[in-house]
Amino acid sequence: MTSPLENTIREAVARGAYAEANTLLSEFCGQLQATDDGVRVKELLEWMLRRTRAARAHDAARLKELSAAMEYRRLPPGRLHTWQIDG
């Protein structure tokens, strides 16, 4: 069963708010030290790592697509934009 704090951590990671997730994770680990439940911490950390890696991979793919599209917008050296042509 997940705790409200664990859900908040998952939401922060899903939003990409990693600084917030890190702060919440410290609090979460402190709470679990009293219960000696390291398995939940390990599972949460593994999930966070998978989620972050997937988000980074998607972002990298989008950036690559944007970079490829920008090639079509660049003019070769020495060519003028249409608004720079007189007449």
- Concatenate the DSSP letters of all residues of 24-63 into one string: HHHHHHHHHHHHT-HHHHHHHHHHHHHHHHHHHHHHHHHH
pLDDT for 37: 72
Q: Looking at the domain assignment, is residue 76 inside a domain? A: no
Give me the half-sphere count of Cα atoms (radius 13 Å) on the Cβ side of residue 74: 8
Q: Looking at the domain assignment, is residue 87 inside a domain? A: no
- Taking a C-beta distance cutoff of 8 angstroms, is the pair 1, 17 a contact? no
Per-residue model confidence as pLDDT tens for the chain (87 residues) = 678 888 999 899 889 898 998 899 888 888 777 776 778 778 888 888 898 899 889 988 888 888 776 666 666 677 776 677 775
Q: Looking at the domain assignment, is residue 52 inside a domain? A: yes
Q: Looking at the domain assignment, is residue 85 inside a domain? A: no
Domain that holds residue 65: 4-70
